[in-house]
Each structure stands twice: as structure tokens, then as C-alpha cells.
Amino acid sequence: MSTANTMRAISQDVLGGPEVLKEVELEIPKPGPSEVLVRVHAAGLNPTDWKHRANGNFLGRPPFVLGWDVSGVVEAVGLGVTVHKPGDEVFGMLPYPYGVGAHAEYVTAPARAFARKPAEVDHVQAGAVPLAALTAWQALVDTADVRAGQRVLIHAAAGGVGHLAVQIAKARGAYVIGTASSGKHEFLRGLGADELVDYRETDFAETVRDVDVVLDTIGGDYRSRSLRTLRPGGLLVSILPSGSPELAEEAAGLGVRAVELLVEADQAGMSAIAGLVAAGTLRATVAEVFPLAEAAKAHALGDTGRTVGKLVLQVR
């Protein structure tokens, strides 16, 4: 049970499966200059959470508290903060990858990592949005500058990033092609997808052509195969950066481009996303909600890779 100066958090001491996660009591952090302290109401989960839990990735060896998605209420502000005040409802992504720690009752982060939470949605909905929506926004808008009439291919279109990317691309006026198993096609048509490919039955690389932009959320050989769906001058954006120049070199040989993107905390992007959410143009599909204490169950479900949309921890 947390006290006035402590909080509940989900931590781990070793790398491994969901069973390594445990509820602990930690001291409530204090906001430094240009930071805010947020009382977390809901925190989304993303595949990067289970990957870091199992392998450490950017974070190295534990202990650490995972989580980058936050929706909550500003509890206190640090020196120099003018964009938020105590009592403001905010949502955003903690700076990726090292600003981790959302799976707790409180978190500190740069004030400009957050935007005002749209009043039209609750904290669970808002908490499902940030990392996945920012990834899609930075890939499709900031990087690819998707425009009306362009053809956009989105892999794993029913996933956390994918289903938000479908909506963002449609909001930009694009023609959207998605890859997903047949059981998810009706869901994606409801989001506005124009054309769907069942990857289990059809090789998209043989049937999809003249694409302006590909959003790769899978990696592996999907990246090379996707290059052949692009029209001359087209662009592939992979959200699984490997740091290898080989993809860009292969793309150049085919007369197309390929880039690798790592999502960044971005208040301007979050504000744009908030506008879409407020307008009803963008909505996260929440597959399941778990209390903070059941984070391990959420991770176990996430590990299956079969969820549609997002998993969320309800903290408060």
C-alpha cells in the first residue's frame, strides 16, 4: 500500500517472461526544471514493452519500470513550466527510449512531451493513443507527407500502430491498402481501409502495385518485398530501425527510397493527434483493460501478438 510519499509501480529485477514483473513501492519522483509530475490514470502498452521486458534492448539490465504511454492529471510543475498547470488533464509519450516509467502511479517527464487530453475521450482511450499514434503520424505525415489520392500500404493494419495509421492516412485523403488476416478485414473496413490483403492466403508483393508509401511495422523480409510494391520515387518507412544501410541501398537500386524511423516525443504531433481525436477522426481500439497489479497478464496477452488494437493498464 502506497503512502503519501510513495507510489505503486510495476518493476522487474531480471529479464524474462511476464512472470518477472512485480508490483513494488517506490518514492514519488519530483519534477525537475521544465518537467511536470503527472498522476497516471491510464497507461497503454506496446510491443516495445514486452521486447524490453524480455531483452532489455535500449534500457539494458533491470531494474526498471516500463511504459511510455501516459494519460493523467498534472500534479505539480517544475521550474520554468508555462504550458501546463496542476489539475490539467494531459496525455503524451514519455521520451523514447530512455524516458520510460509510465507503469506507475506517478511519472515525471518534460512538460512538452504532453498535450491537453481531449475532453471527448476518457483516460483509458487517451492512454491507448500516444506512442502508436505518434509513430504513425511521424511516419506518414512528418516523413512521408502523405497527400490526398496517394496509395498507402500499411502492414499489420489491425495492430496498435497499424489501425491508427489507417485512420491517419484516411484523414489525409489517401487510398489505404492493409495487410491483415481475413478475420480482421471487417474491422479494418470499418476504419476506412479501401483494400485488404490476407497475408496468409496472398503474397502482397505479387498483387499490390503502384504504391506511393509503405508503412512497415513488421520488419524482416517484409521490407525488401515491400520495395517492389512502390512506384518509382515511392517511399518505405520502417518503424523497426536496424541501423544497417542495406535497406536504403537496395531501395536506391530499385529507384525508390527507404528510411528507418524511431518515434520521438513531440508536443506538436500530440496536439495534432489530439485534434483528430477530438473531431472523432481518430480513435484507438482498446482490446482489453487491466488493473496496474495485473500488468503481467497484459504482457502475456501482448506476447501472443494476436490482439486487435491496444492493451491498457488502468492505474487510477
In tens, the pLDDT along 18-41 reads 999 999 999 999 999 999 999 999
Residues 246-292 pLDDT 10s: 999 999 999 999 999 999 999 999 999 999 999 999 999 999 999 99
The 8-class DSSP code of residue 86 comes to T
CA pseudo-torsion sign 146, 152, 154, 157: positive
Task: Quick: pLDDT tens for 208-229.
Answer: 999 999 999 999 999 999 999 9
Compute the average pLDDT of residues 201-207: 94
85 CB-near residues (< 8 Å, 6+ apart):
74, 77
pLDDT > 80? residue 1: no
Beta carbons of 291 and 282 less than 8 angstroms apart? no
The residue written with cell numbers 506476447 in the block is 303
DSSP state of 94: P
Bridge partners, residue 159, by sequence: none
pLDDT score recorded for residue 2: 58
Query: What is the pLDDT, as a whole number, of residue 244?
Result: 84
Query: Cell 491508427 belongs to which residue?
Result: 164
Residue 3 clears pLDDT 80, i.e. is over it: no
Omega prior to 97 cis, within 30 of 0 = yes
How far is the first Cα of the chain from the last one, in angstroms, to the nearest whole number? 14
- The average pLDDT across 57-86 equals 98
Question: How confident is the model over 152-157, as a mean pLDDT?
Answer: 98
Residue 293 has pLDDT above 90, yes or no: yes
Strand 151-154 relative to strand 175-179, pairing: parallel
What is the gyration radius of the CA atoms in the chain, in angstroms?
A: 19
Q: How confident is the model at residue 316 (pLDDT cuts 50, 70, 90)?
A: confident
| Mean pLDDT of the chain, nearest integer | 97
Banded model confidence at residue 4, pLDDT cuts 50, 70, 90: confident
Spatial neighbors of 249 by CB under 8 A, at least 6 apart, are none
The yes-or-no verdict on residue 235 having pLDDT over 70 is: yes
